[in-house]
Amino acid sequence: MAVPVRTDAARLAPVEFTSAEDAAAFIEARCLDDGPVGQVGLEIEAHCFDLADPLRRPGWDEISDIIASVPALPGGSRITVEPGGAVELSGPPAEGSSAAITALLADRAVLRAEFERRGLGLVLLGADPVRPTERVNPGLRYQAMETFFAASGSAGPGAAMMTSTASVQVNLDAGPRDDWSRRVRLAHALGPTMIAITANSPMLGARFTGWKSSRQRVWGQLDSARCGPILGADGDDPASDWARYALRAPVMLVNTPDAVPVTNWVPFADWADGRAVLGGRRPTEADLEYHLTTLFPPVRPRRWLEIRYLDSVPDALWPAVVFTLTTLLDDPEAAAIATEATAPVATAWDRAARIGLTDRRLQEAAITCVAAAAERAPVALAESMEQLTRSVQEGRCPADGFADQVVGHGIASAMSQLVKGEL
């Protein structure tokens, strides 16, 4: 049977929304995939430092040239560069956390070796402790983001978020549709406890901020319409919660070839309803999909669950952190334990970031959650899990170790050891 061939114009003709209700329906139908759990995708960001001069920020051309020389990565990760020059590895989905961890460790070893050969170190820390904010990635998206943050009165936090923070991101299947609400609620409830466990950014701008996770503090200084949790009043319908959140959030840029920043507050709903006109038109499906990539809640639906609230932590620790978080969400018995343990601190986002495991209730939740994961950990992760278990039992997070080095030996010595991998 002959199949009629659509013209390029017909195939590429953009479909504009006629109302915010249409846009909401589009989001709800696509935000989460119904299916089993089990796949795990990992992303890890590392600050790029000059081994000989930790105060120097390597430039775009310098970093790009090194990346071009990196041999094929055994785990298949993609390499990208954040606005401030942090280098990110994004691994493909793997069956289970152990496979994802093994692949990313292998890729990071290859990447680190090539950067070190060229005189640069890739440091896993939640925030750059010493260097002032500076964008080196020339991408139009990041230029537009700078303009948007400046116009909205959050230029400082926006610049710090883009150029001075780094995280470990865990991507998990959304799971069966009838379990979405429980699963999304637990992913949020785990946030404060996991932030307290992984807090690893006590300094920003060459000073102690008074927070264990200055990274989380920076995110908290940005507008909650774009960066706050997405849960509604009861969290029973995460798809509609996400649609409501996305439509209320202001449009950051119109994604024409020039990435035009929007410098006044225009909720996406107003654009879709025609109450505001951007780019001389109403938004298309492509505009909405791009808008969703400019929203940064701690748990973001991307068909899967993108968990974004962990500080970047050292290689000795992040495998145990990833296994713990994945187990507490994917293993039914561990999830039940975590649900009960985190209930008293499920909304303690700021307290977790500020004082970490020195808070008694956060430490109790952390001990229970990590113990549940440790009981299920494979032998290959024993050493990392033992270190994580010991840390939470002592009420310490990674930030404490770095802070001790700075206080005891000075920032110059601590940074020198850090970038050389001696901390």
Residues 78-128 have pLDDT tens digits of 999 999 999 999 999 999 999 999 999 999 999 999 999 999 999 999 999
Q: Residue 222: what pLDDT?
A: 93
Nearest CA to 217 out of 231, 233, 201, 229 is that of: 201
**What is the distance, to the nearest Å, from the Cα of residue 235 to the centroid of all Cα atoms in its chain?**
21
Q: Are 205 and 317 in contact (CB under 8 A)?
A: no
Going along the chain from its start, the domains and CATH numbers come out as: 39-253+295-420 (3.30.590.20)
Please state the pTM of the whole predicted model. Answer: 0.94
Gap between the Cα atoms of 43 and 250, Å rounded? 27
The continuous run of DSSP H or E covering 204 comes out as strand 203-204
Q: Are 128 and 58 in contact (CB under 8 A)?
A: no
Structure tokens, 342 = 């985190």
Ramachandran angles phi, psi of 300, nearest 5°? -115, 125
Q: Are 399 and 211 in contact (CB under 8 A)?
A: no
Structure tokens, 330 = 């994917």
SS3 (DSSP) at 80: strand
Gap between the Cα atoms of 388 and 367, Å rounded? 10
Q: Residue 265: what pLDDT?
A: 94
**What is the distance, to the nearest Å, from the Cα of residue 81 to the centroid of all Cα atoms in its chain?**
14
Torsion (CA) 177, 179, 181, 184 in degrees, nearest 10: -100
Q: Residue 165: what pLDDT?
A: 98
Residues in the chain, pLDDT under 70: 1-13, 232-234, 422-423
106, 126, 310, 344, 354 from 196: Cα distances, Å: 27, 12, 9, 14, 8
Would you mind telling me the total number of residues written for the chain in this entry?
A: 423
Ramachandran angles phi, psi of 232, nearest 5°? -80, -165
Q: Residue 415: what pLDDT?
A: 85
Structure tokens, 190 = 């785990």
Count CB neighbours of 288 within 10 A: 22
SS3 (DSSP) at 72: coil
Q: Residue 55: what pLDDT?
A: 93
Q: Are 345 and 193 in contact (CB under 8 A)?
A: yes
Which ranges of 165-305 would DSSP assign to H, the alpha helix? 180-198, 214-221, 224-227, 238-248, 268-273, 285-293
Give 296-311 as a DSSP string: --SEEESBSEEEEEEE
Structure tokens, 143 = 């230029």
The continuous run of DSSP H or E covering 383 comes out as helix 382-394
